[in-house]
Each structure stands twice: as structure tokens, then as C-alpha cells.
């Protein structure tokens, strides 16, 4: 599933080729995504020039000046550049044809992604109540501690709640908790301020490292295949059940929390 680092990498990869280009034509082959693609999307965007491209949580915001396209990659979506005349596959649902022959193509086999528009995206229902960005100063030890004080849920579920902080997916939550030395099932309310400080710092470090890894692979993606893909992570605990902890050799444990797998080291995370 595309997580925040993949979406950030996609944003960085698309920006240089799309900024300041006029959208000539929008082709929707299949509008049945998570929500139907609005019938008037092409009419809203065609002929307009992309003024900026940014990310909020896992949403990509294409600002065409007065109207913003909101895109989410869902479970399996990806955006890549297609060659002129390149036939669309069965899962290639949308093409954005920009001037100069630049074709952006959405592929989404499971169709949990979304492409919508808004005149005021920050007040759109999907975005209005999102928590702070994890890599900004708004997300720090004091903020996280204040959030945890009022919540009895497991800390892993709290940091994965987009109203608390955006973009901490399952992999990054497990990895951050390992680096902070906190068990995923710990009640958020029981975390001390120093523990919250360690966790906030770990989340920033883990996400920044993933974005850096994506950035370093980005040039290859764009140059060799035109594709903006996902990248392999060198995880400490995620998907390593039964394997030795890289720090202490204790076997990594796997538990289920909220129907999602969690991984932790019983020695390093107490």
C-alpha cells in the first residue's frame, strides 16, 4: 500500500515534469474508484495550467488555480508517465494529457484510490480534520503527549489515527515503536512525556529515512521505466516474525491489533 513516503516521492517525481503545464485533455476510462470520479472533472480542469503540486497526508493536491484536484492512491494505485501512443492496460483508469505530450497515467487494480476536485481543498471533508504532518514542528513531544493523555487505546493505533497525526502507516508505526522502545499494545495514556518524545523523534526519523530512500531511487524509476514505484524498506521488526532482532537476537513477535499485524521485539520494547 502506498504510504506517506511513497506519496511524497511521487509528488517530488511528478512536479518537475508537470508544473506550469496546461492540461489539454483528461480521459477517464473507468470512473468507479473508491468514490465515483466526478463527471465534471474534465470540464473543471481541461485548459487550465498546473500551478502547484503538493501533499497533505496521503492526498496529492494538484492546484490548477481556483480548482484543486485531490488524488489518493488507495491500496494499490500508482501514477506514472506514459509514452505517446502507449496502449492503456485494463487497470489504467485515468490519463491526464498535458501540453508537450506529457501523459500522466493512473493505474489502480483494486480501485480503492480516489480522484476528486475541490475549490477549497483544506476544507474538503477528507482533509479538514486531518492531524498535523509528522515532519513539521506542529508534531512534537508535547503535542503527542497531550494526545496520548486523553486516549486509552493502544499507542500503535493512536499514532496510526489520521486525526492525531497523518501518514503513519502500519509499517512505519511498527518501526517507530521499535526505535522508541515502546510495545505496540501499550495504552497511550500510560506513556510518559520522555517516551512520547522518543516516539515523536522516531516517527520523524523513520519517515525521513524512507523518503530519502525513495528519493534516491526516484531517478532510476523515472529514467528507466517512467514509473514511480514503491521501494523496499530495510525494516527492524516489520514482517520479521520469528527472525532474530537485529539489535539483541531475541525472536521478533507478531500480534494482531485492530485487524492489522504488529511486530515487536519483547526485549527491546518494554
**Where on the chain is the footprint of Zn ion (CB under 5 A)?**
245, 247-248, 250, 265, 267-268
Q: Which residue is catalytic, options 3, 6, 8, 175? A: 3
On whether the CB atoms of residues 173 and 206 are closer than 8 A, the answer is no
Residue whose CB is less far from Zn ion, 96 or 178: 178
Helix (H, G, I), strand (E, B) or coil at 268: coil
Minimum gap (Å) between residue 158 Cβ and Zn ion = 23
Residue whose CB is less far from Zn ion, 61 or 265: 265
Question: What is the Cα–Cα distance from 147 to 145, expressed in whole angstroms?
Answer: 5
Q: How many Cβ atoms are within 10 Å of 259's Cβ, its own excluded?
A: 5
DSSP code of residue 224: I
Q: Which residue is catalytic, options 44, 56, 58, 105? A: 58
Q: Is 156 a catalytic residue?
A: no
Distances (CA, A) of 210 to 34, 52, 180, 186: 27, 24, 17, 25
Minimum gap (Å) between residue 185 Cβ and Zn ion = 16
Q: Is 260 a catalytic residue?
A: yes
Minimum gap (Å) between residue 265 Cβ and Zn ion = 3
Q: Which residue is catalytic, options 2, 5, 121, 134? A: 2
Residue whose CB is less far from Zn ion, 125 or 242: 242
Helix (H, G, I), strand (E, B) or coil at 211: helix
Minimum gap (Å) between residue 248 Cβ and Zn ion = 3
Note the helical H segments in 137-192.
141-149, 155-159, 170-180
Q: Which residue is nearest to Zn ion (CB)?
A: 245
Q: Is 133 a catalytic residue?
A: no
Q: Is 58 a catalytic residue?
A: yes
- Cite the active site residues: 2-3, 58, 260
Amino acid at each position: 500500500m502506498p504510504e506517506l513516503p511513497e506519496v511524497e516521492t511521487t509528488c517530488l517525481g511528478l512536479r518537475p515534469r508537470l508544473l506550469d503545464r496546461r492540461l489539454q485533455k483528461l480521459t477517464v476510462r473507468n470512473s468507479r474508484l473508491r468514490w465515483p470520479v466526478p463527471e465534471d472533472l474534465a470540464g473543471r480542469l481541461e485548459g487550465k495550467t498546473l500551478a502547484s503540486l503538493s501533499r497533505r497526508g496521503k492526498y496529492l493536491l494538484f492546484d490548477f488555480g481556483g480548482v484543486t484536484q485531490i488524488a489518493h492512491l488507495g491500496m494499490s494505485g500508482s501514477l506514472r508517465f506514459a509514452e505517446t501512443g502507449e496502449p492503456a492496460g485494463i487497470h489504467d483508469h485515468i490519463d491526464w494529457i498535458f501540453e508537450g505530450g506529457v501523459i500522466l497515467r493512473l493505474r489502480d487494480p483494486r480501485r480503492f484510490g480516489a480522484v476528486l476536485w475541490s475549490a477549497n481543498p483544506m476544507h474538503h471533508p477528507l482533509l479538514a480534520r486531518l492531524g498535523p504532518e509528522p515532519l513539521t514542528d506542529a508534531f512534537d513531544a508535547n503535542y503527542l503527549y497531550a494526545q496520548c493523555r486523553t486516549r486509552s487505546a493502544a499507542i500503535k493505533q493512536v499514532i496510526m489515527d489520521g486525526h492525531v497525526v497523518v501518514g503513519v502507516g502500519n509499517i512505519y508505526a511498527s518501526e517507530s515503536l521499535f526505535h522508541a522502545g515502546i510495545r505496540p499494545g501499550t495504552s497511550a495514556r500510560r506513556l510518559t512525556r520522555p517516551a512520547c518524545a522518543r516516539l515523536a523523534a522516531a516517527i520523524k526519523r523513520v519517515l525521513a529515512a524512507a523518503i530519502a530512500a525513495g528519493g534516491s531511487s526516484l531517478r532510476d524509476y523515472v529514467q528507466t521505466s517512467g514509473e514511480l514505484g514503491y521501494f523496499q524498506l530495510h525494516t527492524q521488526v516489520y514482517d520479521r516474525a520469528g527472525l532474530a532482532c537485529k539489535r539483541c537476537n531475541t525472536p521478533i513477535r507478531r500480534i494482531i491489533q485492530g485487524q492489522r499485524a504488529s511486530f515487536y521485539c519483547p526485549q527491546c520494547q518494554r
